[in-house]
Amino acid sequence: MSKILITGANKGIGFETARRLVAEGHTIYLGSRDAERGRRAADEVGARAIQLDVIDDESVNAAVGVIRAEGGLDVLINNAGIQAEMGDGGVIGAAGLTAEIMRETFETNVFGVVRVLHAFLPLLQQSEAPVVVNVSSGLASLAGVTTPGSPLYQYPGVAYPASKTAVNMLTIQYAKAFPEIRINSVEPGYTKTDLNNYSGHQTVAEAAEIIVRMAQIGADGPTGGYFDINGTLPW
């Protein structure tokens, strides 16, 4: 059984992933930037709440201290994410994109992942079978968004897909740098959550499936890959 941290797990896909992994018998640290919302969510599924704001060094370092003191970490699921370009009128495309929207998006989706990875790497390296799951998106796929006729091609947003493409690059480069750690990107699928004002067509149960699977790959599992529930995706 593994000790698993999930960032941004007080709701949505992360919360469902926590529920599933607790049921599998793992020790789950349910990360939430708001301590009270995290405590309520953790109580509901039988996880341990941990305050963790991925854009705040102090918060991340404090979480490392707590988890280190309790025995370390085997699996990190970088799930926290935002879609800052979802305006009232729908997704903001290139015409409306500002540097501020881009910065806000990268702050959480990219720099947040780097901050959390950097802080938890020493603990992961002490695990016998360390695993990282980076929750990416199908929209990260350059192959997908350049294939006319594909639903990905139609998506007008810039900041969110760019941030997830950057997450995929993190997966590739960290996997090469740390061959002893299984590090993969996953695409949970278009899912009804707050992130997209519930416009998705999947349930969180369906979305959590690939995250739960990749969180539990053994030491002989793949690394440096990009997967959805049906297998490998094109970068």
Report d(CA 234, CA 140) in Å as an integer. 10
- For position 34 contacting ligand NAP by CB under 6 A, the verdict is yes
- For position 195 contacting ligand NAP by CB under 6 A, the verdict is yes
Q: Locate 124 and state its tokens.
A: 């992961």
- For position 171 contacting ligand NAP by CB under 6 A, the verdict is no
- For position 7 contacting ligand NAP by CB under 6 A, the verdict is yes
Count of beta carbons in the 10 Å neighbourhood of residue 88: 6
The count of residues interacting with ligand NAP (CB under 6 A) is 30
- For position 91 contacting ligand NAP by CB under 6 A, the verdict is no
Helices then strands (H, E): number in the chain?
A: 9, 10
- CB nearer to ligand NAP: give 34 or 43: 34
Q: Locate 5 and state its tokens.
A: 């941290």
Q: State the nearest-atom distance from the C-beta of 10 to ligand NAP, in Å.
A: 5
Which among 18-26, 90-98, 117-125, 193-201 is the span making contact with ligand NAP, rule CB under 6 A? Answer: 193-201
Instruction: Indicate which residue of 160, 190, 198, 226 is catalytic.
Output: 160
- CB nearer to ligand NAP: give 118 or 180: 118
Report d(CA 183, CA 176) in Å as an integer. 9
CB 49 within 8 A of CB 41: yes
Q: What angle do CA 181, 169, 50 make, to 5 degrees?
A: 55
Look up 155 and say whether it is catalytic. Answer: no
- CB nearer to ligand NAP: give 35 or 129: 35
Report d(CA 210, CA 135) in Å as an integer. 10
Question: Which residues are near ligand NAP by CB under 6 A?
Answer: 7-8, 10-14, 33-34, 52-55, 79-82, 108, 112, 135, 137, 187-188, 190-191, 193-196, 200
